[in-house]
Copies of this chain bind each other. A is one copy, B any other.
Amino acid sequence: MKLNNHLCGQWLQGAGEGVPLLDPVSGEELVRVSSEGLDLGAAMAYARDQGGSALRAMSYEQRAACLGQIAEVLSANREAYFDISLRNSGSTAADAGFDVDGAIFTLKTYARAGKVLGAARQLKDGGRVALAKTDVFQGQHFLTPLQGVAVFINAFNFPAWGLWEKAAPALLSGVPVLVKPATPTAWLTQRMVEDVVAAGILPPGAISIVCGGARDLLDHVDARDVVSFTGSADTAARIRNHPAVVAHSVRVNVEADSVNSAVLGPDAVPGTAEFDLAVKEVVRELTIKSGQKCTAIRRIFAPAAVATALADAVAARLSGMTVGNPRTEGVRVGPLVSRAQQAAALEGLAKLKLDARLVFGGDPDFVPVDADPAVSAFVQPALLFCDKGLDAQYVHDVEVFGPVATVLPYADPAALVAMVRRGGGSLVASVYSADAAFLCEFIPAIADMHGRVMVVDGVIGNQHTGHGNVMPTCLHGGPGRAGGGEELGGLRALAMYHRRHVVQGGSSLLDALCEGAADAALLGA
């Protein structure tokens, strides 16, 4: 079966044999995708002309209501999505929930938040700017929705959330969406779009999907569009260097590699709640979605006196977790999404081993439960220990996209700051400490190189939202190697899909142009 693409308001099949999508446990072929022969230029034009016009004719409030309806449709089909996740991504129920329920939660959050913008169709940004001695000539800034398409080139690890966390602010802004999911796991994204289109919630052209190769898609972007990419730094560079992107100064948002940190403060010694919370979170991050999260913990920093105890505690927990076919009772950790990802992870692990010694797992000959190593895509969870600090060649640079992390001891806070920053820009760092003096020094020293810093202590206990969880109300993104992008953060996310401009003129004209506009201050409130 070849999955349909949805372009120009129609369901279209790509030409040729297509690319097979596989079950990463059995190797079985599930469906095929193809984008061959499709007119992507026409699809972009249709999305702009039909989808964009219709969306912009609606108010923020009306579009927010659409997001709520989309969340309902997805909730109604949740079981089907879990089944596709299991088959196409080898997801346990917890893994699938992380993706699918995360998508629904994000849509609901934006549906609720978007109501505050009411019947407006654009935003006024700040107050009147005086430009003459009287009010005869003034300035007024606005944020107006882009008249282009939000093009999402997405990663394989979040086929559900990856679409909707971007689509929610785009659609709420009045900008149509065209998503190209990563080929290996495109099925779930495609099914969700199919369900939403069938429900007739959005106007024609408001959502499009192309599965398979992106082909000439980027040749058709221009100044009106936004490209949002999640994936490898290499592909990000190709997008940024694309002639049409460069020629038209196309807005590009990138979320790429990130060698995220977990940090045990000087007080997080064995026997404390902070130590235990760190161990629990590290194990969760290593195993949920088999470590295939851009936010997952890759480096674990612990005071030198504590590092070995930490590694032992994490290893002990890992040893009790069953890795194998997620259809089997008791299995906690599934496969990677593909044999290619398995090979890449094992290659990365081999690099880390040049810097660090294995404390647990990472056996390439490991045998998963109820799965054939010859056809499946499993990687045994691995914990490493590196005492090279800043001299390590790979640990601070290589993001192994699987259940792999490295413990690094630190001698003092200055050494800790230098090593954490050595990641070159990260999505997130989590800190386990109740030492306010340490935290108030440490957090500002790393904050400019991170999109998010999470701090957990014994009082917070298990009430935190998780190192790896992206909350729709909080910023997701990070500088440098993390791609430099910004997603979510509540209504702030709408800024990417609006253009700021200023009108200079008489006060009665500015009054007329402001009529019905909402206050952009609501985005940051």
Contact B136–A459 (Cβ < 8 Å): yes
Contact B453–A503 (Cβ < 8 Å): yes
The verdict on A464 contacting B504 (CB below 8 Å), with A139-B474, A448-B144, A479-B499 known, is yes
The verdict on A452 contacting B484 (CB below 8 Å), with A131-B465, A241-B246 known, is no
Contact B525–A127 (Cβ < 8 Å): yes
In chain B, what residue has the closest Cβ to A239? Answer: B246
Chain B residue numbers with a CB within 8 Å of A525 are: 126-127
Please give the distance in Å from A103's CB to the nearest CB on chain B: 19
In chain B, what residue has the closest Cβ to A238? Answer: B246
Q: Among B130, B139, B444, which residue has its beta carbon within 8 angstroms of that of A513?
A: B444
Cα–Cα distance between A450 and B447 once the two chains are bound (Å): 34
In chain B, what residue has the closest Cβ to A445? Answer: B147
Contact A139–B453 (Cβ < 8 Å): no
Contact B484–A137 (Cβ < 8 Å): no
The verdict on A501 contacting B513 (CB below 8 Å), with A465-B131, A480-B248, A490-B126 known, is no
Cα–Cα distance between A456 and B504 once the two chains are bound (Å): 8
Q: Among B424, B440, B473, which residue has its beta carbon within 8 angstroms of that of A129?
A: B473
Please give the distance in Å from A157's CB to the nearest CB on chain B: 20
Chain B residue numbers with a CB within 8 Å of A451 are: 500-502
Q: Among B465, B475, B520, B521, which residue has its beta carbon within 8 angstroms of that of A501?
A: B475
Which of A459, A473, A503, A521 has its CB near the most chain B CB atoms (within 10 A)? A503
In chain B, what residue has the closest Cβ to A524? Answer: B126
Chain A window 184-222, contacts with chain B (Cβ cutoff 8 Å), 1 for yes, 0 for no: 000000000000000000000000000000000000001
Please give the distance in Å from A105's CB to the nearest CB on chain B: 13
Q: Among B249, B486, B505, which residue has its beta carbon within 8 angstroms of that of A484?
A: B249
Chain A window 483-498, contacts with chain B (Cβ cutoff 8 Å), 1 for yes, 0 for no: 1111001101000000
Chain B residue numbers with a CB within 8 Å of A145 are: 448
Chain B residue numbers with a CB within 8 Å of A449 are: 223-224
A414 at the binding interface (Cβ < 8 Å)? no
A369 at the binding interface (Cβ < 8 Å)? no
In chain B, what residue has the closest Cβ to A423? Answer: B223
A247 at the binding interface (Cβ < 8 Å)? yes
The verdict on A453 contacting B249 (CB below 8 Å), with A465-B131, A506-B460, A509-B436 known, is no
Cα–Cα distance between A130 and B504 once the two chains are bound (Å): 39
Cα–Cα distance between A30 and B456 once the two chains are bound (Å): 63
Which of A144, A448, A455 has its CB near the most chain B CB atoms (within 10 A)? A448
Please give the distance in Å from A449's CB to the nearest CB on chain B: 7
Chain B residue numbers with a CB within 8 Å of A504 are: 452-455, 464-465, 471, 474
Give me 18 other A-B pairs in contact (C-beta within 8 A), A223-B480, A241-B246, A486-B500 excluded: A127-B525, A131-B464, A133-B463, A134-B463, A137-B465, A145-B448, A240-B246, A247-B481, A249-B425, A439-B509, A440-B509, A453-B504, A454-B503, A465-B504, A475-B500, A489-B500, A521-B521, A524-B524
User: Which 4 pairs show the lowest CB-CB distances between chains A and B?
Assistant: A223-B480, A249-B484, A455-B505, A223-B425
